[in-house]
Structure 1
Amino acid sequence: MRLVLRRSAAALSVAALFLLPTAAVAQVGHLPSQSPYEDFKIGQTVSVMGGWLAVQRDLADVAPKASWLAGLRYDIGVGGPASLFVRYLAAPSERNLLAPTNTRATRVIGTPSTTTHIVDAGLDIALTGRKTWRRLMPSVNGGVGLAADFAKADTGAYRFGSKFAFNYGASLRYIARNGMQLRIDATNFVWQYQYPDRYFVRAADTTAILTDTRNREVWRGNWSLTGGVSIPVFR
């Protein structure tokens, strides 16, 4: 699934690169009535989305596992091809519960359920400017936010907690005549894992969850692929 997400993100980026130079020449060589470009006002929309979050395996293998996600997004145009967005996503999943003092064979003592909540805000730039190309509008975006599971530290002293996260990605929107939009988003959420001292203590079999203290804090990227419907508001 992670390979599919990466290929989807690459496909969106390639499509955007192809559309960008054509957007620069806009409607040159076309009669207005025959041009594939149409003016479009970037206003305000509310989007309902669903998709997949491919959480990358962390060094200790205690991160939430890949799962389905759902969310809401609000966009508002701020001039030219730019718009600001705020977004909330929730991904219910499960994770490994580790007992650091147990031997390697018995170290995983459960797989409790957990939900990763992501709240972020950022800037979206339409690559075709304030126009659509055959009703399509590709864009690139980036932002910052928080990821959290609101859980207390487990029996092994590990806690996902609330993490600063930044993101980047690409979107492709199809804009219908009535203003409704269908959208696909590929986004990479990047956050940091922090491990407790117990993860570096050797058990009776001389193994430890982690051995290199330089890995006490590590960054990981987590790709998501979502599809959704956007509804214009306050027109």
Structure 2
Amino acid sequence: MSSIRFAVLARASVLAALSVAVPAVASAQVGHQPSASPYEDFKIGQTLTIMAGWLAIKRDPADVASKSSAMGSLRYDLGVGGPVSLYARYLLAPSERKVLVPNNPRATRVLRMESANTHVMDLGLDISLTGKKTWHNLMPSVNFGGGIASNFAAVDTGAYRFGSKFALTYGASLRYLPRKGPQVRIDIGRYMWKYEYPDRYFVKASDTTSVLTDTRQRSAWRTNWGVSAGVSVPLFR
């Protein structure tokens, strides 16, 4: 499936969620006195968030991708009007991966494990599902964006290199926004990028096996899950 189809699907999901959530928010406020309403006006300004969590990386066809690992991220949000914020995020997941010698027989093909740090840098939009209000100090939102994923590593012994490539991201968030004290944010997201493999991965070794057998696997998209939580600091209030 192409990145364009992924982007269309993500945008359609956001629009569908908004079409359901906005009427629900409006109707839920009917019948409450302003002093007793669970909804409170909230100014969506600028925040800086430090987060930690887990990045679940799906196995790639050749099994040379980074493994699932803990991750940390730094995120900046800027309100740009109404319920919409623009965000910029940097994510780091230190992990490890297999290094293969594709010309070796299967029994001796794995040369070693090496460290592999996954970096994701993306920009996107975050849309509050309760508008410019909180509900019992909570503000749920959906988000989508795009950027770059890389491990900044050179070509390995088996001629493989992850490189730097386009990444599509989307997900949902829940923020706890008290009048005083720290703000808390929980994110659940999906991170999608494509793997590409060298010709050497399709050449048979002396035991008649190869790393990959189907040339249609020369490039493959994979979707990875991430969950994280952290503390947000309002800026320039």
TM value normalised by structure 1: 0.91
Q: Displacement, 1:21?
A: 4.7
Match of 1:170, as an amino acid? Answer: A
Matches for 1:202-213 after TM superposition, within 5 Å:
202-213=204-215
SS in 2 for 1:137: strand
Across the aligned residues of Structure 1 and Structure 2, the Cα RMSD in angstroms comes to 1.5
Identity of aligned residues (%): 64
Q: Is the 8 A contact 2:22 2:131 kept in 1?
A: no
Q: Displacement, 1:114?
A: 1.0
The answer on 1:119 being equivalent to 2:85 is no
Task: From 222, 225, 228, give the equivalent of 1:223.
Answer: 225
Q: Is the 8 A contact 2:71 2:93 kept in 1?
A: yes
Measured in 1, the distance between the counterparts of 2:97 and 2:106 equals 17
- Counterpart in 2 of 1:52? 54
Consecutive unaligned residues in structure 2, runs of 5 or more: 1-13
Measured in 1, the distance between the counterparts of 2:190 and 2:81 equals 26
- Counterpart in 1 of 2:38? 36
Q: Please identify runs of 4+ aligned residues in structure 1 that moved more than 2 A.
A: 16-22
The answer on 1:69 being equivalent to 2:71 is yes
Matches for 1:96-175 after TM superposition, within 5 Å:
96-175=98-177
Q: Displacement, 1:178?
A: 2.0
Measured in 1, the distance between the counterparts of 2:182 and 2:62 equals 44
Match of 2:176, as an amino acid? Answer: Y
- Counterpart in 2 of 1:27? 29
Measured in 2, the distance between the counterparts of 1:90 and 1:38 equals 35
Q: Is the 8 A contact 1:44 1:76 kept in 2?
A: yes
Q: Displacement, 1:106?
A: 1.1
SS in 2 for 1:214: helix
Q: Is the 8 A contact 1:26 1:37 kept in 2?
A: no
Q: Displacement, 1:199?
A: 0.2
Match of 1:180, as an amino acid? Answer: P
TM-superposition CA deviations, 1:173-197 (whole Å, max 9, x none):
0101126310110110000000000
SS in 2 for 1:230: strand
Task: From 189, 192, 195, give the equivalent of 2:191.
Answer: 189
TM-superposition CA deviations, 1:135-190 (whole Å, max 9, x none):
00000000000011111000000001101101110000010112631011011000
* 1:217–1:105 CA distance, 2 compared to 1 (3 A): same
Count of aligned residue pairs for this structure pair: 221
SS in 1 for 2:29: coil
- Counterpart in 1 of 2:92? 90
